[in-house]
Structure 1
Amino acid sequence: MSTGETATPWEGLPSWLLGQATTHAQRLVGDGFSSVGARGYHYRLLATLEAYGPASQAALGRRSGIHLSDMVAAINELAEGGLVERTPDPSDRRRNIITLTSAGRRQLRRLEKRLAECQDELLAPLSPDERRQLTDLLSRLLHHHNRRTGPTEEPRR
């Protein structure tokens, strides 16, 4: 909307504004990750493995918020790139343990750098204090709804 135009009734609604901001954020992050040969799932899995250490696919899915039906394909992509290793669980051979490799750590550093650049681009018009305030408000909103209904299930891709 250009200066002087009258806003439509929905353009001032928080839900609409959040949706539009989300669209921009997803596009920026998706393009940023794509520029280094990755997807959002890759970042979430690598970061979760670094934070928690080796894990079963089920535990990794729960911790990263990725639906189990999407885990196998995402882990296959990471394993094919040498970013994770999949080995049988010694205590239950039916289950695999996923481990971050040194190449996976290097890729995670690249993804973190791109993610920081995307955050800066998305939030460019905001001061550091406004960025913290926005993050605090969004965290509070998300916490409220997660407490009421549980975390939102990751959409199927």
Structure 2
Amino acid sequence: MPVSRVIATPTWLLGRANARAQLLLARAFSEFGLRPVHYRTLAALEEHGELSQVELGRHLALDRKDVALTVDFLADRSLVDRRPDPSDRRRNIVALSDPGRDLLPRLHLTLDAVQHEVLAPLTDREAARLMTILPKLAPTNTGRDESDGEHMQPHRKSARKGPVR
């Protein structure tokens, strides 16, 4: 397939836009010695309160191993506290620590600045329009309970002519 055919497809363009956005996000959080998944973890704990590692994984759509590695990383930096669940010693409960809670406002500002940078090439009107369209293309449930992939099936309007690329 010629490159000129590929670079005009939604899959290619969305992938390139995502790569740029993720790079900007990773660079911004690296200033704090963190990755985006670390921010998402801290933000989930701020929003939902203390959680078991299993519950945290569900909120973040991460498997157990990735949750454990993320929590280990954050606990080593004293950004979260982890303790055994008193009702089931096999489970761990994770909560924001005071240093983690203190860092979050700066991380929120960093996230906001990245959003502005991602949308900077667009006019305000284009950015607003994009933000109304993107949710239609992205699954909204981050849980693992939709593992059959049905929520990711392509949607085709009956009026559309020709193949969807």
Q: 2-side partners of 1:29 and 1:44: how far apart?
A: 12
Task: Letter of the 2:149 partner, please give it.
Answer: T
Task: Report the counterpart of residue 38 of structure 2 in structure 1.
Answer: 42
Residues 22-73 of structure 1, C-alpha deviations (whole Å, 9 max, x = no match)? 1101110001000111111111100000111100000001001222221111
Change in 2 beyond 3 A, CA 1:151/1:37? farther
Q: Is the 8 A contact 1:61 1:67 kept in 2?
A: yes
Aligned to 2:155: none
**By how many angstroms is 1:105 displaced?**
1.5
CA contact (8 A) 1:46 1:108 kept: yes
Range with bigger deviation, 51-60 or 118-127: 118-127
Shift of 1:150: 5.5
Matches of 2:105 and 2:63, distance apart in 1: 24
List alignment gaps of at least 5 residues for structure 1.
1-6, 153-157
Residue 113 of structure 1 and its aligned partner are, at CA, apart by: 1.4
Q: Does 1:108 align with 2:104?
A: yes
Cα distance in 2, alignment partners of residues 129 and 64 from structure 1: 31
The equivalent of 2:122 in structure 1 is: 126
Give the TM-score of the pair, scaled to structure 2.
Answer: 0.80
**1:75/1:145 Cα in 2 relative to 1: closer, same or farther (>3 Å)?**
closer
Mark the CA change 1:151 to 1:44 in structure 2 (over 3 Å): closer, same or farther.
farther
Task: Give the corresponding residue for 2:163.
Answer: none
Equivalent in the alignment of 2:6 = 10
Cα separation, partners in 2 of 1:145 and 1:114, compared to 1, 3 Å = closer
Q: Quote the residue 1:58 is aligned against.
A: 54
Paired residues of 1:33 and 1:39 also in contact (CA < 8 A): yes
Moved over 6 A (4+): 144-148
Q: Would you say 1:93 and 2:89 are equivalent positions?
A: yes
Partner of 2:65: 69
Cα separation, 1, equivalents of 2:103 and 2:134: 28
Residue 86 of structure 1 and its aligned partner are, at CA, apart by: 0.4
Change (3 A) 1:18 1:123: same
Distance (whole Å) between structure 1 residues aligned to residue 141 and residue 38 of structure 2: 26
Aligned to 1:149: 149
Aligned length: 146
Equivalent in the alignment of 1:3: none
Q: Percent identity?
A: 40
Calculate the aligned-residue CA RMSD, in Å. 2.3
Contact in 2 for aligned 1:41/1:66 (Cα 8 Å): no
